[in-house]
Amino acid sequence: MEVQAFPTPGSMLSLSRNHFCYLKKFNWFCLNLRSLQMHMGSENRHPTSIKRTSVACSSDLQWSQQASFNSQLNDAKVIYCVAPAMGHNQDSHPECHLRVPAIMNTLQEMNLTSKRGTDVLELQNFKPATLDDIASVHTRAYVTGLEKAMGRASDEGVILIEGSGPTYATATTFSESLIAAGGGIGLVDSVVAASKNSGSPPVGFALIRPPGHHAIPKGPMGFCVFGNVAVAARHAQRKHGLKRVFIIDFDVHHGNGTNDAFYDDPDIFFLSTHQDGSYPWTGKFDEVGAGNGEGTTLNLPLPGGSGDAAMRSVFDSVIVPCAQNFKPDIILVSAGYDGHVLDPLASFQFTTATYYALAAGIKQLAKELCGGRCVFFLEGGYNLKSLSYSVADTFHALIGEPSIAHKLDDPAILYEEPSAKIKQAIQRVKSIHSL
């Protein structure tokens, strides 16, 4: 894998137009970042400064502590982990080090962290993913090439990873990406452990970065370094014998990396809803899998302007019957919040209420189909306020509390959804997949 030094701001215009269509609203985003920095203050930018109750990953505990750990798991409704990758940062880049701290600040303000009591639990001291974990999805050449590139990143600062458009790397990117993937693995382990003792295990939420769903087997792409949800899926199969994995990706951009990793795998169903014609310009209706995996990839590109009504219809008429037909052993979710109407990098009209409904529906689906085993993985979301509020209301849904979207959403900024095009898209995908 080759890398090159990240260009100075003045030289960014020399990069291809396609790469930076994804970043076309940098100026607005920079204002958003500065506003958050002033609001947070330097003392609150790293979530490790937060006082919190936590537990260690079960694999690190002595037998004498196992009973206590299991008890906490059994009482929890949500278990989350935090991996903010504070060293993996490029100033004014949408996928920056402020994203996870912004979420954590909002969760604290709304009393949705482990400090609230037994129903919310934080997984801490989890192990980084191993190179073998990553190589279950990515090529060894990519993994070793990225590790070697860290020396150059240390010397030169931020570097741009060749061929991946706006994906950057710093001296800590490799190690922090292993930590992010490890957090997802730890949550899978914890949720599976809890499901052996209870029919209602906690739902996991990996508050991690860099995100992963664009990272292809041979390299990084679209802000993503390692495929966190894909690595977790392979781990669920290999360690826990959960053969059939159902992956839902509701990020506004197609999860092409996850798509490619499992395109010929009959035991992993990948379902992506995304904005038609948006980065990375993949995820067409006819991309349905290949070989033994034909039929276990479903791509539903929706027109720009799709919003709450569209997603509720998609959930009822596409996601639910697909999951019911597939009969999964676990559900994993690439939870991208860049479909929000306020997000700068796309043009969907999702609201906080949309994400609450999705989370509540997915939790119920997991309860009905696979013993409640379900883990969410943070993907996109670049307006820090809408990202944080949407994750917080996702927590409300997973805990079983009422939504507070009516206090956060502004209906006045919404416009009429393209209902005819949405209906046509849904009917087309239902026809292709015999739903």
| Helix, strand, coil content of the chain in percent (nearest 5) | 45, 15, 40
Q: How far apart are CA 34 and CA 26, in angstroms?
A: 12
The answer, yes or no, to whether residue 35 has pLDDT greater than 80, is no
Per-residue burial over 211-246, b = 16 or more CB atoms within 10 Å of its CB, e = otherwise: bbbbbbeebbbbbbbbbbbbbbbbbbbeebebebbb
Q: How far apart are CA 61 and CA 55, in angstroms?
A: 10
State mean pLDDT over 301-318. Answer: 98
Cβ contact 208:228 at 8 Å: yes
State mean pLDDT over 26-45. Answer: 41
Report the pLDDT value the prediction gives residue 162, as an integer from 0 to 100: 61
The answer, yes or no, to whether residue 11 has pLDDT greater than 60, is no
The answer, yes or no, to whether residue 407 has pLDDT greater than 70, is yes
**H-type helices in 221-284, by residue range?**
228-240, 256-261
The answer, yes or no, to whether residue 227 has pLDDT greater than 70, is yes
Q: How far is CA 134 from CA 215, 227, 288, in A?
A: 11, 8, 25
Cβ contact 233:246 at 8 Å: no
Min mean pLDDT across 20-29, 78-87, 184-193, 221-230 is at: 20-29
Reported as a pLDDT band with limits 50, 70 and 90, residue 278 is very high
Q: What is the edge-to-edge ordering of all strands in the sheet holding 245-249?
A: 55-56, 120-124, 78-83, 203-208, 374-378, 330-335, 245-249, 268-275, 297-302
Q: Give the residue numbers marked as catalytic.
A: 214
Per-residue burial over 106-116, b = 16 or more CB atoms within 10 Å of its CB, e = otherwise: bbbebebbbee
Min mean pLDDT across 150-159, 299-308, 369-378 is at: 150-159
Min mean pLDDT across 28-42, 101-115, 345-359 is at: 28-42
The answer, yes or no, to whether residue 156 has pLDDT greater than 60, is yes
Reported as a pLDDT band with limits 50, 70 and 90, residue 206 is very high
Q: What percent of the chain has pLDDT over 90?
A: 80
State mean pLDDT over 30-34. Answer: 42
The predicted-structure confidence for 180-193, as pLDDT tens digits, reads as follows 999 999 999 999 99
Is the bond into 202 cis (omega within 30 degrees of 0)?
no
Q: How far apart are CA 124 and CA 82, in angstroms?
A: 8
Report the pLDDT value the prediction gives residue 64, as an integer from 0 to 100: 55
The answer, yes or no, to whether residue 389 has pLDDT greater than 70, is yes
State mean pLDDT over 389-400. Answer: 98
Q: How far apart are CA 304 and CA 418, in angstroms?
A: 8
Q: How far apart are CA 153 and CA 206, in angstroms?
A: 27
Which residues, other chains included, contact 340 with Cβ-Cβ below 8 Å and sequence gap of 6+? 348, 350, 351, 352, 355, 381, 383, 386, 387, 390
Report the pLDDT value the prediction gives residue 161, as an integer from 0 to 100: 85
Q: Is the whole model's pTM more than 0.85, yes or no?
A: yes
From the number of C-beta atoms within 10 Å of its C-beta (0-12, 13-18, 19+), residue 169 rates as buried
The predicted-structure confidence for 327-366, as pLDDT tens digits, reads as follows 999 999 999 999 999 999 999 999 999 999 999 999 999 9
The answer, yes or no, to whether residue 31 has pLDDT greater than 60, is no
Instruction: Tell me the average pLDDT of the chain.
Output: 88
Q: Which domains does the chain have, with CATH numbers?
A: 73-409+416-433 (3.40.800.20)
